[in-house]
Structure 1
Amino acid sequence: MRHTLCTDDRTRPASQSTDSAGPGCKPSGMLVSVTVVMPIRNEVAFIRRSLGALLDQDYPMDLMEIVIADGKSQDGTREVVREYMARHPNLRLIDNPGRIVPTGLNRAIRQAKGDVIVRVDGHTVVARDYVSQCVALLRRSGADNVGGAMRPEGQGRFGRAVAAATNSPFGVGDARFHYSEEEEWVDTVYMGAWPRALFDQIGLFDEEMVRDQDDELNYRLLERGGRILLSPKIRSSYTARGTPRSLWRQYFQYGYWKVRVVQKHPRQVRLRQLAPPVFTAALCGSLFVACVAPQAVLAWGAVPLTYAVACITASITTARRAGWSILLLLPPTFAILHVSYGLGFLFGLARFAARWGSSRASQPSPTTDEGPTA
């Protein structure tokens, strides 16, 4: 599965593109057009920073458009976007009546005019050379999807604890895009950038997937012979969840919808994805044994005690790197990550038990859809 970004006389062949050409491989006459797609809903607290970073890209603005798909925000997000639209003609706002991320992405991609699609989320602030690095890496590598590492930032002590926990192997397993500092081939990246033509071959995002739609698309791409490249040169940061409740809800949904990803792409299952539900099931079993046979301490105490030791050790290691002020918050943060994801996965197993034969992913047609603007 290979693509060329040389779609007209403004582009140069990938074989002629090198890192030494600098950000965006200037001059601008040699660049491809880019559409940045941004699915948002109720992001008034973050949208100014996100849009400000996008509108300050070193990529030529005459070759870049930003399509924002808004899921009926009610917090003033749309009004903020319209303020920016008045000053930036390359910024468009469209409606996302489905309100979820995959429907927003698909509506934006259908309206995209660019040769390259770059996804940016509402909580994310990208580096000034983000778009140019994505384009350069797509050309140089021949990859079908490129992206950078997920770099969380926290607001407040709990937010900083979440950022540190989700940037550690104990918190998120061996998912390389969380903490890798090397350029390497991987099974998924944060957000992503693709040649527009790719979606004509593999379809758009699966609109069943309220969460984990990026994993599902990447697994579909890999199964069709595509390749995904992670690069530390593609830099961004996102604001981590700031309360235990919001973090629990986020990771519960990740675990819940991961079941459908596994059902659709069983060959792509990784041990890191099964560790939280296995641990949670073992923990529930330990609690049951403790209730029916409290005297059997060794039987029911082994799992929680082992986890507690591992959690405390990981917390000390993480706090040494991220700051001692969050040390006491790290054990409960790790526990929320693991137990909420694990419970979500177990609930998903029960909810989707009859759908193991339903492995075909929904692949909405990439046919152009003008749709209503907002």
Structure 2
Amino acid sequence: MPVNDNDAPEAGVSFVMPVLNERAYLEHAINSVLAQELTVPAELVLALGPSTDGTTELAQRLAAGDARIRLVDNPAAHIPVGLNAAIRASRYATIIRVDAHSELAPGYAARALETLERTGAANVGGVMHADGRAPFQRAVARLYNSPVGLGGGAYHGGTHEGEAESAYLGVMRRAVLDEVGLFDETIRRGEDWELNLRIRQAGHLVWFDPSLSVTYWPRESWLRLARQFRATGAWRGELVRRFGRRNGIRFFAPPALVVLVVIAVLVGLLQMTGVLTGLLSIVISAVVYLPLLAYLLLVIAVACLPGGGGARQRLWTLLVLPTMHLSWGLGFLGGVLRGARDTVDASRLGTRNTPLP
């Protein structure tokens, strides 16, 4: 049974966007959506969480000035809840997920519709191209775009079109969403991966098209970044609990790094207190410390490589890369051992962002 009031959604495009404390980014994100040139009707449905930075008032003002913008409430503030509320309120047969922290490239929607038609896919996604303004955000963006930073998923820089495990944001057939049951509202992060798993299990195709590009603006401070990655890691750990080996092997690298660091600290303490000595100490040191030394050299190499920006950006890279890995890994271990429970992305709560130029 369809989840909206229409038995057959009209031909057209419904952009859906969950929004919480995004005043600095929202208008740019909305403008990139409304600027999309399409030959079919389009609308933008914003799911408004309980923002504290003036985002709701801005959204209301923008909606009053453009009939294509529609507003729904998302009092729970959770992303999948907001997405489902926006989808249920939507009118058209194609759903395009957009993010208030991102901007669509010109022609994105038209190209995505062509790819859906050409491939017969149920969901199409492209490349997430991270960008930044200040040295810290540029350092984060560079690592987002690097296989070393986020593990080399196709949407972080893939160049070959083809079948995919998941899709960044996603351009989806409404009929398939109705069939598989929309987003799982018990999953706070990684909800897109889980949805695409169900889409593929239902026999439909998920497709990656590198010609589709979305600009993403990362978190602007170290603490917000650490909170974001810890929450994301916790929910990936929860997904491992639920779906086991369906999760890719790359997800286990950050928690392995965390475990190695903990072991190294314990070994160091045993050596300092004289409990661990002799040949055994040398062997264990080689096994534990050499991989950490290799990781340290990797971090330094990434910071020093061409394209690393100015001195401040390179210095931030030295801190940002291990922060991403260790925060994600700590969250993952907690998620695997006890479940993600009510873990939320605290980096989205009560924020004050610098406006985009």
TM normalised by structure 2 equals 0.86
How do 1:24-63 residues align onto structure 2 when only pairs under 5 Å count?
A: 32-60=11-39, 63=41
- For 2:52 and 2:301, the matched residues in 1 are separated by 43
How do 1:39-188 residues align onto structure 2 when only pairs under 5 Å count?
A: 39-60=18-39, 63-188=41-166
Q: Determine the structure 1 residue equivalent to 2:196.
A: 218
Equivalences, count:
323
- For 1:72 and 1:137, the matched residues in 2 are separated by 36
| 1:332 has 2:319 as partner | yes
Q: Determine the structure 1 residue equivalent to 2:208.
A: 230
Native 8 Å contact 1:146 1:230 kept in 2? yes
Native 8 Å contact 1:154 1:241 kept in 2? no
Native 8 Å contact 1:219 1:265 kept in 2? no
Q: Determine the structure 2 residue equivalent to 1:309.
A: 297
| 1:321 has 2:310 as partner | no
How much does 1:196 deviate?
0.3
Distance change in 2, residues 1:353/1:237 (3 Å): closer
| 1:206 has 2:163 as partner | no
| 1:244 has 2:222 as partner | yes
Q: Determine the structure 2 residue equivalent to 1:189.
A: 167
Native 8 Å contact 2:264 2:289 kept in 1? yes
Unaligned runs of 5+ in 2: 1-6, 342-357
Would you identify which runs of 4 or more consecutive aligned residues in structure 1 move more than 4 Å? none
SS in 2 for 1:33: strand
Native 8 Å contact 1:151 1:237 kept in 2? yes
How much does 1:134 deviate?
1.6
SS in 2 for 1:59: coil
How much does 1:184 deviate?
2.3
Native 8 Å contact 2:240 2:336 kept in 1? no
SS in 1 for 2:36: coil
Q: Which residue identity does 2:38 align to in structure 1?
A: Y
- For 2:71 and 2:240, the matched residues in 1 are separated by 34
Q: Which residue identity does 2:316 align to in structure 1?
A: L
1:51-82 C-alpha deviation (Å, 9 max, x unpaired): 1111111114x700110000111211111112
- For 2:30 and 2:87, the matched residues in 1 are separated by 18
1:163-219 C-alpha deviation (Å, 9 max, x unpaired): 001111111112111011332222112100110001121111111111111111112
Native 8 Å contact 2:123 2:206 kept in 1? yes
Q: Determine the structure 2 residue equivalent to 1:23.
A: none
SS in 1 for 2:23: coil
Q: Which residue identity does 1:53 align to in structure 2?
A: S
How much does 1:154 deviate?
1.2
1:100-151 C-alpha deviation (Å, 9 max, x unpaired): 1000000111111110000001101112212111211111111111011111
Distance change in 2, residues 1:324/1:267 (3 Å): same
**Alpha carbon RMSD of aligned pairs, Å?**
2.0
Native 8 Å contact 2:167 2:208 kept in 1? yes
How much does 1:314 deviate?
2.7
Q: Which residue identity does 1:302 align to in structure 2?
A: L
- For 1:353 and 1:129, the matched residues in 2 are separated by 38
Q: Which residue identity does 1:46 align to in structure 2?
A: Y
SS in 1 for 2:169: strand
SS in 2 for 1:234: strand
Give me the identity figure in percent: 33
- For 2:205 and 2:228, the matched residues in 1 are separated by 28
How much does 1:300 deviate?
4.4
Native 8 Å contact 1:286 1:303 kept in 2? no
Native 8 Å contact 1:148 1:234 kept in 2? yes
SS in 2 for 1:232: strand
More deviation, 254-263/43-52: 254-263
Native 8 Å contact 2:14 2:95 kept in 1? yes
- For 1:90 and 1:352, the matched residues in 2 are separated by 40
SS in 2 for 1:332: helix
- For 2:108 and 2:89, the matched residues in 1 are separated by 22
How much does 1:353 deviate?
9.8
Q: Which residue identity does 1:342 align to in structure 2?
A: G
- For 1:155 and 1:308, the matched residues in 2 are separated by 27
- For 1:300 and 1:270, the matched residues in 2 are separated by 25
Q: Which residue identity does 1:323 align to in structure 2?
A: G
Distance change in 2, residues 1:204/1:353 (3 Å): closer
